[in-house]
Amino acid sequence: MPEPISLSETFHTAFYDAEEGKLGLWQPNPLTDPAVAALARKLHGDVNSSLEEQRSRIVRPAPAPQLYFDFFKYRKPIAEATERNEIFLIGAADALLTSLSSLIEGLLSRPQVLAFLSIEAKGNDVDRKDAQDMLFDLVFLFVTNHEIGHFVHGHTGSQPEEWLEFKSDPVKRLPQQAAEIEADGYSTFATLNWLFTKRSPIVEGDTGARQKVEAVLLRLYLLAAFSYLEMGSSRPWRWHCPETFTHPQYLTRVDFIVGHSRGWCERHAIEHERNLSQAHIHEALEGVHNCWHQPDSRNLERQVKDLTSGPYASWEERIREERSRLRQLLEPFQLIVRDYS
């Protein structure tokens, strides 16, 4: 009887594609910067612990599939999900690990970001370090939870022929864009659940003080999600061919993430919906602008002008309709997760 294949071996083969430049499993070695190695080990443990907690919420199928996270070797700061041997695998490129540290350090050196988080520019270094650590965790969780969202909504694995055709069609991109919005929705709920149950500090007795702390947590989440997605802000939007890309435009994803966040607040913390005002969102977007230091990054005014130069409202409505259609099409392949809808 052959020896069972380990999780690390399964992960390695799933994320190995030499032609694409993906070289399978990446783990720290003696030449790895000690700080990066320590961070990788911490995240490997924390994310897999989070996956186990999320697995415990899966109602259908029963028993729930195994979930596993690790790093793969790749030059771009991305994350991906795939299924192998009935195991749901979530991988993050080592480039994401190394680039996020400098990204977040840079964000928390910006006066507008510190003001958004109510941190004094020349204030307590402990506050800034706490914010830096939590922001790193949140960006990473947003990214990995987004990939889990693809599993939850039935975008991977065995699916109907119609969806498989959409996934390989270079022209019909709308279903793929709707799928990305769905995955962002799951990530928003899962990440906010973690943030407000696992990382929310206890403030005894004083409701006002607790709400102030939780308002900062929600702002940290917005910065985390927006900063990661800002990587796509340099991509121009062309109304004559809006379905050119597999992912929606940056500000479109932001719009829907704000909607997902309001949905979470309505269910779990209605008092925080006021922290999702247009002014708060604009402040967060200004704070993360060009955080990836892309030479072709376009300012917010230019991006808004691009979107509003065409039928943007009807475009978002098409995305909503496609999300509903995909949910019906993929319903038999979706996971049912407690406390998420």
Q: Provide the pLDDT for residue 341.
A: 59
293: left (phi over 0), alpha (psi -120 to 50) or beta: left
> Quick count: other Cβ atoms within 10 Å of Cβ 30?
6
Secondary structure (3-state) at 25 = strand
Q: Does 223 reside within a domain?
A: yes
Contact 54, 336 (CB under 8 A): no
Closest CA to 136 of 147, 128, 124: 128
Nearby residues of 226 by Cβ (< 8 Å), 6 or more positions away = 254, 257, 284, 285, 288
Residue by residue, pLDDT tens for the chain (341 residues) are 556 789 999 999 999 999 999 999 999 998 899 989 998 999 999 889 889 988 999 999 989 999 999 999 999 989 999 989 889 999 999 999 888 888 999 999 999 999 999 886 655 666 788 888 889 889 989 999 999 999 999 888 666 777 777 766 666 788 888 999 999 999 999 999 888 887 655 555 567 777 788 888 899 999 999 999 998 877 777 776 666 678 888 899 999 999 999 999 999 888 889 989 999 999 999 999 999 888 777 788 888 888 888 888 888 898 999 999 999 989 988 999 987 75
CA–CA dist 284, 219 (Å, integer): 8
Task: Specify the pairing of strand 79-84 against strand 22-23.
Answer: unpaired
Q: Does 32 reside within a domain?
A: no
Q: Does 216 reside within a domain?
A: yes
Domain residues for 160? 98-337
Q: Does 235 reside within a domain?
A: yes
CA–CA dist 137, 142 (Å, integer): 8
Q: Provide the pLDDT for residue 158.
A: 64
Number of domains in the chain: 1
**Per-residue tokens: 334:** 């979706």
**Per-residue tokens: 266:** 């309505």
**Per-residue tokens: 79:** 């994350």
| Cis status of the peptide bond prior to 61, with omega within 30 of 0 | yes
Alpha-carbon dihedral sign for residues 243, 244, 247, 253: negative
Q: How far apart are the first and last CA of the chain?
A: 43
Q: Does 139 reside within a domain?
A: yes
Q: Does 114 reside within a domain?
A: yes
Q: What is the dihedral of CA 250, 154, 222, 244, to 10 degrees?
A: 0
Amino acid at 300: L
Q: Does 104 reside within a domain?
A: yes
> Quick count: other Cβ atoms within 10 Å of Cβ 337?
21
Q: Provide the pLDDT for residue 3.
A: 65
Q: Does 102 reside within a domain?
A: yes
Integer angstrom CA distances of residue 56 from 66, 157, 316? 10, 20, 34
Nearby residues of 292 by Cβ (< 8 Å), 6 or more positions away = 103, 230, 231
